Amino acid sequence: KKKGVNILRGKEIYHERCAACHGLDGAPVLPDAPSFAKGERMEKTDKELLQTIRHGKNLMPAWKEILTEKEIKIVLYYARVVAGDKVFEEKCLRCHSGTFPKLRTDIPDAKTLMNFEGPLDICRSCEIEREMSKEELIDVIRYLRTLGK
Q: Give the pLDDT confidence of 68-116 residue by residue, as tens digits.
A: 999 999 999 999 999 999 988 888 888 777 677 777 777 887 778 878 8
- Integer-rounded Cα radius of gyration of the chain: 16
Q: Which residue has the higher pLDDT, 147 or 54?
A: 54
Predicted structure pTM score: 0.81
Which residues are bridge partners to 57 per DSSP?
A: 60
Distance of alpha carbon 129 from alpha carbon 101, whole angstroms? 13
Q: Which residue(s) pair with 60 in the sheet?
A: 57
Per 3-state DSSP, the chain is made up of helix, strand and coil in percentages (nearest 5) of: 55, 0, 45
How far is the C-alpha of 25 from the C-alpha of 47, rounded, in Å? Answer: 23
CA separation for the pair 75, 72 (Å, rounded): 5
- Is the pLDDT assigned to residue 58 strictly greater than 70? yes
CA 38 to centroid of chain Cα atoms = 11
Identify the DSSP state of 96. -
The string of pLDDT tens digits covering residues 21-53 is 999 999 999 988 999 988 899 899 999 999 999
What's the sign of the alpha-carbon dihedral 29, 34, 38, 39?
Answer: negative
